[in-house]
Copies of this chain bind each other. A is one copy, B any other.
Amino acid sequence: MVQSKKDKSEMTLPRVQKSGELAILSTIRARAAGIPHRGVRLGIGDDCALLRLKADEELAVTTDLSIEGRHFRLNWHPPESVGHRTLARGLSDLAAMGASPVAAFLSLGLPRHLTQPGKASGATSASWVDRFLDGLLNLAVEYDVPLAGGDLAESPIAIADIVLTGSVPKKQALLRGGTKAGDRVFVTGSLGGAAAELAALAKSPRKFARKTIASQNSPHLYPQPRVAQGLWLRKRGLASAAMDVSDGLSTDLAHLCEESNCAAEIDAEALPLGAGATLELALHGGEDYELLFTAPKSARLPRSIAGVPITQIGRMVPVRTNRARVTLITGKSSQPLEPHGWEHFS
């Protein structure tokens, strides 16, 4: 029997009441139950989980590490947002391959105080880890992705490493390499909105403290992974290359060009700006989790896929000596677009 999404996300969830690793694990196990798990033969509780694929499928695997102070801040981000973002990052990688989610695995490192119930106005409130799981599992329910395993450890800072697995028919995954000069460049949704919301969050975190429910209009706190759009593109075979915009358009497009051995021209005026975004944020902001993809000139693409707008932002061109990988065109002038998105250790 299929429950509606609304019913599932409102189900009563057990809470982390007792301390101790086994008690927390048993709560996570109970909370993760109830999500359909067609591809999972064995979930949480043994040395490994066991996944099954159909004979004509490959398994896409991605891991994304989120670290307190680097990817989120305890005094900025509501715990529900941290949980949502943790899973959304992995789902976005599956979307970029056109893969259908099979199962997630969560490794959590937590300071002890984040596992203990809080005190709000005298009453006992949910612990940080419970609220983190609210955010993560609500998104998991929305995408029918069961939590099939993971690890839990005490840690001086909060860290969450998410593994997403997905299935994709053999040889049909959307790859970064494969685009050719002449192909058109597209993005889903809009760019720079996540960076704009992050800037607002940094200015006055208190205004965002009550944003504990996922919303379409909160691209930094609650990014919407483009799973349906990736599946649509893969099924129709229209995209010659695809990836997600996680580090910023300028950096991500440079990767796509490298893997495809191509160059690209981007039309500044065509870029779909997110709420509050400047051109600068749209080019370099990062964490938009939109899909960046290319398609041959002959491909007929709709204006939107599964309710999300599709915008042509430029075209692929041949690589030439003394020309930048990516060129930004504004009116009649053009300039090299250097990758200035996010890079660790830089």
Q: List residues of A whose CB falls within 8 A of some B CB.
A: 19-22, 24, 41-42, 45-53, 55, 58-65, 67, 69-71, 93-94, 96-97, 99, 103, 105, 107-109, 112, 115, 148-157, 159, 161, 163-166, 168, 170, 173, 175-177, 243-244, 259, 343-346
Contact = CB atoms under 8 A, between A and B. Distances in A.
B70 A59 contact: no
Nearest to A154: B344
Contact of A70 (B22, B63, B155): B155
A157 B156 contact: yes
Sort A-B residue pairs by CB-CB distance and give the 8 closest, nearest first.
Answer: A48-B60, A47-B96, A21-B344, A161-B161, A65-B107, A48-B62, A47-B93, A65-B151
Contact of A51 (B48, B59, B164, B259): B59
A71 B175 CA distance: 37
Contacts of A58: 41, 50-52
Contacts of A154: 67, 70, 344-345
A50 B173 contact: yes
Given A59-B59, A61-B148, A154-B344, A105 B45 contact: no
B61 A105 contact: yes
B47 A168 contact: no
24 contacts: A20-B343, A21-B345, A24-B345, A42-B175, A46-B97, A47-B93, A47-B96, A47-B243, A47-B244, A48-B60, A48-B94, A48-B173, A49-B61, A49-B62, A50-B58, A50-B59, A50-B60, A52-B58, A63-B107, A63-B149, A63-B151, A65-B108, A67-B109, A152-B344
Contact of A345 (B48, B112, B166): B112
A215 to B, nearest CB: 25
Contacts of A49: 60-62
A65 B109 contact: yes
B346 A48 contact: no
Contacts of A152: 65, 344
Given A52-B58, A58-B51, A105-B61, A156 B346 contact: no
Contacts of A22: 343
A97 B64 contact: no
Given A50-B60, A55-B55, A61-B163, 13 more contacts: A20-B345, A20-B346, A21-B346, A46-B175, A46-B177, A47-B94, A50-B61, A50-B173, A62-B149, A65-B107, A70-B109, A157-B157, A163-B163
A339 B138 CA distance: 35
A341 to B, nearest CB: 11
